[in-house]
Structure 1
Amino acid sequence: MRKLSIFLSLLMLVSLIMWQPQNAYADELSGHMHESGLRYLIAKEALLQDENGSYRPNDTVTRGEFATYIAKALNLETKNNSTFTDVPNTYVFADEIKLAATAGIITGYTDGSFKPNARISREHMAVMLIRAVDYLKIPKGSSSITFKDNATIFKDFRQDVAIGAQLGLIKGSSNGLFLPRDNATIGEASTFIFRLIALADSVQQNPDYPDNNNNNGNNDSSDNNNGNTGGNNNQTTPYIVQEILNGNLVDKQSYTSFEAAEKALTNHSLVITSDSKILKMSSGYVVTNNYVALNSETIKDQIAVAANTEMEYLDSDATQVKVRLAGHVGYLKQADVSLIPSALMKGRSYYTNENGEIKHTLYDYKSNKYSASYVYGKAPSFMKQGEKYFSWDGINFTNANGSSTGEAYNYYQFLPARAKTQYTAEELDQYILQKLAEVESSGASIYKNATTKSKLIGLGAILKEVEANAHINAMLILALAQHESAYGMSDHAQNLNNLFGLYVYDTNPLNKKFDSVEANINELVEKFLQPNYITPGGRYTNGAVVGSKAMGFNVKYASDPFWGAKIAGHYYRAEKALGFKDANNPYKIALTTTAGLNVRTDTSTSQSPLYTFNKSNMPVIVTDASLNGWCQIISDQLHTEPAYISLDYIKVINTVR
């Protein structure tokens, strides 16, 4: 139970605030339904008057304002060098936004912006509140609470909304609706913050608060006691050590703290559970329950990760899980993932050699069924037909026994974007029509009349012009367009001339209409690929290849960890249809082996470097390796002349093509 003294202290705080001398405009808060929260924010100097002396309680709150409320209420003091493209240091809430970002409470969009002046929706506010709950280390679990309009809540936000409702931070309307897309008012925002602080105080001061035990408030049910309370005030025992026997979990002992349960893990077959959820295990893997942002300690950056993504399990505690995703180590909330011990595995995504081609079969952990598969290139020589192989990064593969079997770099997946395809505009148009006829004949409704309606028709000349001027592979852009636009037939392609899902983010899809498909391609090149993904030092540069979550565009461009492989699959199928011109005359690809590697304009160190690779493992195209300790490469910077790096700091890779 919450202690009465907590609420008395809060009431005293509000009373003291209300008895402070107010100017004439402060009367607008008297009797307001959100008065307590508003006066709390005023006391924290988070809510200021406008030029007319008003606190604007009924105005909609912006993302920047809400970030400020949280930063001030939580007394955040630590900030790193996190920056957003639209939040200069001169912006009125710049410091508070940086503080909230450093604490992991706010995140930006994939284009690097934060949109501080945009009105915040109720569902986005709920997400930020739950991140603040995590920052404050307030115990929480999952929740089954739903609103009547639950289906209209963005699917990856539903659990945060449910947990917020369970903790009493947010409430719906009187008729059971949450209204997720409605904009919240300053008054509503102040109440949400006020409830958060009250919850934090109650948890800190009262160890008997039920949420500390992850009971979801059900401490009045005798079914939760399991006979293990030892006669102590009927308190439940949420942490259960269970043993895996013959594919089932068998109870061993219950404990009142995670730490006590952790000490009881004396062999590899034991796990810790709470509310039937596995919280700790000796080995296995982790699967995301929804879209998450992984803070990679490896590259000191945030990585978007789609639901149903498999990751290596490293460690866990009661609130978070340490994982490794394609080499990136970071932490995720327990509520956002499922832990699956190896002994309880019902299925897992795998790779096979199908008639000389590599096929990736995906497993859906919600339905416990194999859900989809795709082919994306030739199979490496070590893969035997009829055997399953597994990989965390799409590069290093093991067999069913966990033994390492080989390393394989798919040519199309790790071919740098500055490469030039050997196909002409006419050949590209020929392939486009051929592929459209194929998908149209499939009978799928989305591809009806694709041969006459697709936005890909006639793009060959435009793609080759981009290749000539922007030095970005025409076939690569076509493969990207095919994948992102359902061969030019998606709603965004048909109605908005948007072939690439530009500005269609996981968390806030926008509907920007382009004047033409050509304008859309130019925007992709000029505002996304060229400055941010290809040019060294760009905001999202992790290698100028479509790649995987280990390196390349896929690290930041898409949350799907296999996006890069799927783009490679489109390139491979085009090659297969047109005669493998590119694969039969391949580029030599190498990886840099050190961070801080300078790229030069000649084979000496006398001039300033053309650019520097700040990270290692960056793919480059080697055009000449016989230069007395140097090699000539194609510049990742838009630079028409050759570039040079030391041979001592690259590793040539054998690509599968």
Structure 2
Amino acid sequence: MKKLSIIALLMTVIGMLLWQPQLASADELTGHSHEKGLRYLISKNALVKDAKGSYRPDANVTRGEFASYLTKAMNLEATSDIVFKDVPDTYVHAKDIKLAASAGIITGYGDGSFKPNAAISRQHMAVMIERAINYLNIPKGTSSITFKDNAAILKDYRQAVAIGAQLEIIKGANGYFMPEKNATIGQASSFIVRLMQLAGDPDAAEPNGGNSNGGNSNGGDTNGGNTNGGNTNGGNTNGGNTNGGDTNTGSSKYAVKEISNGTLVGNQGFSTFEAAEKAVTKNTQVIVQSDKIVKMSSGYVVTNNYVALKSETINDSLGVAANTEMEYLSSDATQVKVRLAGQVGYLKHADVTLIPFSMSKGRSYYENVNGEIKHTLYDYNTNKYSSSYVFGKAPSFMKQGEKYYSWDGIYFTNGNGSSKGEAYNYYQFLPARAQTQYTAQELDAYIMNKLAEVESTGVSSYKDATKKSKLIGLGKTLKDVEEKSQINAMLVLALAQHESAYGMSNQAQDLNNLFGLYVTDTNPKNKKFDSVVDNINELVEKFLQPNYITPGGSTGKNFANGAVVGSKALGFNVKYASDPFWGAKIAGHYYRAEKALGFKDAKNPYTIGITTTTGLNVRTGAATSFSPLFTYARSGMPVIITSSATNGWYEVLSDKLYTGKAFVSKDYVQVINTVK
């Protein structure tokens, strides 16, 4: 018996020695620098083996894959009718892409595509990560963190990179971020596991606070993942309120407070939004969640970051820049209903700040300065007035010394909210088919004078502008475009001046790109043009002509919201730029050129009308018996009227490239008085 016991013991020891090395079976991920993140994605069923049985940790991650990883890690479920033309239902990640788009985590290109199979760069990932941070309500501040190659990061993306770095989600190497470098599946997994650690996902937490995967290359996630910090902040996934987010409210999630002398007082706590809502009895009361106002009786809304607003008004998604003021309509526990220049839609609480009028420290405003309309902008990050621009003559109702406010740049009120007047800036609402009266020689002379002016400011970016600017000598090209394509030469010049910093931007100098083509808030593409002439032709032939001017568009997405630079209410600005004042700023360039050259266009102006109905046909003759040339799908479209009404019809310039005459029923067009 004793011998048998000894033999059994020896067999046990030998068995343990033989088995111990296989406790954790080695695979291609064992010891990988991003092992923790990769195994996290596997646990979420986000990462699967390919046909060869590999997880491909060092392969470039695609846009579709990264969207899928985020969707599964965040357990996104709510969906909407957002679709991309190159993501069919049969695409492997189609459902996840739709869920991520519905949550506002991803957006597509201007032509309605998503390009799911394209490799994603590190800066693109940073933007999506920032949106995920907002969606998950992870606390963040305004970060000043920069990398040695910060200048290589697209300007609009630097905030996203800085915030990600501050939260230690994003890591660089030797002080460099390498923004344009394509990210690998392994790197993507590390970004996501760090994100979900901060969100409090227990599957992402470091075991016992240790770094079981040798994760120095994972950015020191051992202590930053925050077995302590991650769980303490874990409640932030739900707003951080379950465990006493509001002072003196115990376990309450919401509080009702009152506005008194511009501050919030009181702290009546409630466990649900609905209960707090029932307790509000006065217009001076607001509902607060984690010191953030989530419901008020009146005020305005400011975007915290770039957002995609799905407009119910025109059934389209609009890009909107950070720091944009909108009308507040209503809100519930999950979203805020807003109106931007007449476009009604919904945004998540994480994307916006609600400001009651009585708590406002400053707002963007308009004023009459020596007969010109000046727009002064307010920066809500610094709580200071940041910049201003002049874009035309002031309307007659504007008195000097008074401030005026407008949601759309058309209808203006005073400080009390009383209506003061309606004004259409001529250059902002002048249809693109207009022709400028200036010659190529006059345009060239103006360009050189303007370049000398900006060069004289001493600003380093304008050094040697009169020698290096890509605008030099473009007069003939612009007039040729006007003749061939029927697009105003001065309008194209104004657009180029604004988008290229007078031909001196890096994109203009290095890529011959005067118009920011293929550069959006989420998907920059550094396409190089052989010449600025090629760049102008591409603007006209692939953007303005087919999609922004011709009604209906040609890409399946209707970008033609009026053939004017306009605003977020109508015109190119609805879809072309996220800056809601982009159209007004373009108009300002046109106005300053006019001012320098003697107002030839303003002294012999076009008559402009606005359509008043949807489904309005523009016909080849002045009767319903003539065939429609095209149809305006929406109302409020600007048209140039070239002759007085005949038999109830106006002759107009066609928004569709067409050399014949076009007519529209007088009953559905209202002539407007423009300020010029």
Q: Same fold (TM over 0.5)?
A: yes
Secondary structure at 1:626's aligned position in 2?
Answer: strand
Secondary structure at 1:606's aligned position in 2?
Answer: coil
- CA separation of 1:508 and 1:106: change in aligned 2, threshold 3 A: closer
- CA separation of 1:131 and 1:379: change in aligned 2, threshold 3 A: closer
Partner Cα separation in structure 1 for residue 489 and residue 123 of structure 2: 40
The answer for the alignment partner of 1:143 in structure 2 is 140
Select which of 487, 499, 504 maps to 2:514.
499
The answer for the alignment partner of 1:484 in structure 2 is 499
Percent identical across equivalent pairs? 65
The answer for the alignment partner of 1:589 in structure 2 is 608
The question of whether the paired residues in 1 share the 8 Å contact of 2:139 and 2:236 is answered with no
- CA separation of 1:69 and 1:650: change in aligned 2, threshold 3 A: same
**Structure 1 residue 521, shift from structure 2 partner:** 0.9
- CA separation of 1:75 and 1:579: change in aligned 2, threshold 3 A: closer
The question of whether the paired residues in 2 share the 8 Å contact of 1:130 and 1:163 is answered with no
Segments of structure 1 that go 5 or more residues without pairing to the other structure are 1-25, 230-234
**Structure 1 residue 644, shift from structure 2 partner:** 1.4
Partner Cα separation in structure 1 for residue 193 and residue 380 of structure 2: 38
The question of whether the paired residues in 2 share the 8 Å contact of 1:359 and 1:374 is answered with yes
The question of whether the paired residues in 2 share the 8 Å contact of 1:38 and 1:191 is answered with no
Q: Which moved more, 1:310-319 or 1:146-155?
A: 146-155
Partner Cα separation in structure 1 for residue 363 and residue 246 of structure 2: 35
**Structure 1 residue 482, shift from structure 2 partner:** 1.2
* Matching of residues 634-645 of structure 1 within 5 Å: 634-645=653-664
The answer for the alignment partner of 2:353 in structure 1 is 338
Secondary structure at 2:345's aligned position in 1?
Answer: strand
**Which amino acid is 1:492 matched to?**
Q
**Structure 1 residue 409, shift from structure 2 partner:** 0.3
Q: Which moved more, 1:324-333 or 1:113-122?
A: 113-122
- CA separation of 1:600 and 1:28: change in aligned 2, threshold 3 A: same
Q: Which moved more, 1:462-471 or 1:329-338?
A: 329-338
Please state if 1:518 is matched with 2:519.
Answer: no
**Structure 1 residue 252, shift from structure 2 partner:** 3.6
**Structure 1 residue 272, shift from structure 2 partner:** 2.3
The answer for the alignment partner of 1:440 in structure 2 is 455
The question of whether the paired residues in 1 share the 8 Å contact of 2:618 and 2:662 is answered with yes
The question of whether the paired residues in 1 share the 8 Å contact of 2:306 and 2:319 is answered with yes
- CA separation of 1:197 and 1:499: change in aligned 2, threshold 3 A: closer
The answer for the alignment partner of 2:20 in structure 1 is none
- CA separation of 1:336 and 1:156: change in aligned 2, threshold 3 A: farther
Secondary structure at 1:431's aligned position in 2?
Answer: helix
Please state if 1:625 is matched with 2:638.
Answer: no
**Structure 1 residue 253, shift from structure 2 partner:** 2.0
**Which amino acid is 1:118 matched to?**
A
Partner Cα separation in structure 2 for residue 554 and residue 269 of structure 1: 36
Select which of 441, 455, 461 maps to 2:476.
461
Please state if 1:115 is matched with 2:118.
Answer: no
**Which amino acid is 2:542 matched to?**
K
The answer for the alignment partner of 2:83 in structure 1 is 82
Q: Which moved more, 1:407-416 or 1:603-612?
A: 603-612
The answer for the alignment partner of 2:424 in structure 1 is 409
* Matching of residues 289-328 of structure 1 within 5 Å: 289-328=304-343
- Rg comparison, structure with higher value: 2
Select which of 642, 646, 654 maps to 2:665.
646
TM-score after normalising by structure 1: 0.83
The answer for the alignment partner of 2:54 in structure 1 is 54
Secondary structure at 1:287's aligned position in 2?
Answer: strand
Please state if 1:211 is matched with 2:236.
Answer: yes
Secondary structure at 2:112's aligned position in 1?
Answer: coil
The answer for the alignment partner of 1:259 in structure 2 is 274
Secondary structure at 1:570's aligned position in 2?
Answer: helix
Partner Cα separation in structure 1 for residue 192 and residue 502 of structure 2: 46
**Which amino acid is 2:524 matched to?**
P
The question of whether the paired residues in 1 share the 8 Å contact of 2:444 and 2:475 is answered with yes
**Which amino acid is 1:615 matched to?**
R
> C-alpha deviations, 1:74-96, integer Å up to 9, x for none?
58696636233x54677665565
The question of whether the paired residues in 2 share the 8 Å contact of 1:625 and 1:647 is answered with no
Q: Which moved more, 1:104-113 or 1:292-301?
A: 104-113
Please state if 1:249 is matched with 2:264.
Answer: yes
**Which amino acid is 1:372 matched to?**
S
**Structure 1 residue 314, shift from structure 2 partner:** 1.3
The answer for the alignment partner of 1:602 in structure 2 is 621
**Which amino acid is 1:143 matched to?**
K
Partner Cα separation in structure 1 for residue 626 and residue 90 of structure 2: 36
**Structure 1 residue 186, shift from structure 2 partner:** 3.6
**Structure 1 residue 574, shift from structure 2 partner:** 1.1
Partner Cα separation in structure 2 for residue 574 and residue 512 of structure 1: 30
**Structure 1 residue 447, shift from structure 2 partner:** 2.2
Select which of 382, 389, 397 maps to 1:367.
382
- CA separation of 1:465 and 1:121: change in aligned 2, threshold 3 A: closer
Segments of structure 2 that go 5 or more residues without pairing to the other structure are 1-25, 204-230
- CA separation of 1:38 and 1:307: change in aligned 2, threshold 3 A: closer
Q: CA RMSD in A?
A: 3.6
**Structure 1 residue 656, shift from structure 2 partner:** 0.8
Select which of 393, 397, 413 maps to 2:412.
397
Partner Cα separation in structure 1 for residue 143 and residue 69 of structure 2: 27
- CA separation of 1:498 and 1:39: change in aligned 2, threshold 3 A: closer
Please state if 1:379 is matched with 2:376.
Answer: no
The answer for the alignment partner of 2:65 in structure 1 is 65
Secondary structure at 1:66's aligned position in 2?
Answer: helix
- CA separation of 1:249 and 1:649: change in aligned 2, threshold 3 A: same
> C-alpha deviations, 1:388-444, integer Å up to 9, x for none?
111010000011221101110000000000001111111111211222222222232
Partner Cα separation in structure 2 for residue 213 and residue 59 of structure 1: 34
**Which amino acid is 2:320 matched to?**
V
The answer for the alignment partner of 1:232 in structure 2 is none
**Structure 1 residue 280, shift from structure 2 partner:** 1.9
The answer for the alignment partner of 2:433 in structure 1 is 418
- CA separation of 1:31 and 1:147: change in aligned 2, threshold 3 A: farther
Secondary structure at 2:436's aligned position in 1?
Answer: coil
Select which of 542, 563, 570 maps to 2:589.
570
> C-alpha deviations, 1:563-594, integer Å up to 9, x for none?
11111111111111111111111111111111
**Structure 1 residue 255, shift from structure 2 partner:** 2.9
Partner Cα separation in structure 1 for residue 417 and residue 193 of structure 2: 51
Partner Cα separation in structure 2 for residue 487 and residue 407 of structure 1: 32
**Structure 1 residue 278, shift from structure 2 partner:** 2.1
The question of whether the paired residues in 2 share the 8 Å contact of 1:432 and 1:456 is answered with yes
The question of whether the paired residues in 2 share the 8 Å contact of 1:590 and 1:652 is answered with yes
The question of whether the paired residues in 2 share the 8 Å contact of 1:483 and 1:567 is answered with yes
**Which amino acid is 1:157 matched to?**
A
**Which amino acid is 1:214 matched to?**
G
The question of whether the paired residues in 2 share the 8 Å contact of 1:148 and 1:176 is answered with no
- CA separation of 1:323 and 1:576: change in aligned 2, threshold 3 A: same
The answer for the alignment partner of 1:611 in structure 2 is 630
Secondary structure at 1:610's aligned position in 2?
Answer: strand
Secondary structure at 1:67's aligned position in 2?
Answer: helix
Partner Cα separation in structure 1 for residue 246 and residue 579 of structure 2: 42
- CA separation of 1:132 and 1:480: change in aligned 2, threshold 3 A: closer
The answer for the alignment partner of 1:555 in structure 2 is 574
Partner Cα separation in structure 2 for residue 356 and residue 146 of structure 1: 40
Count of residues paired in the alignment: 609
Partner Cα separation in structure 1 for residue 90 and residue 627 of structure 2: 33
**Which amino acid is 1:412 matched to?**
Y
The question of whether the paired residues in 2 share the 8 Å contact of 1:63 and 1:118 is answered with yes
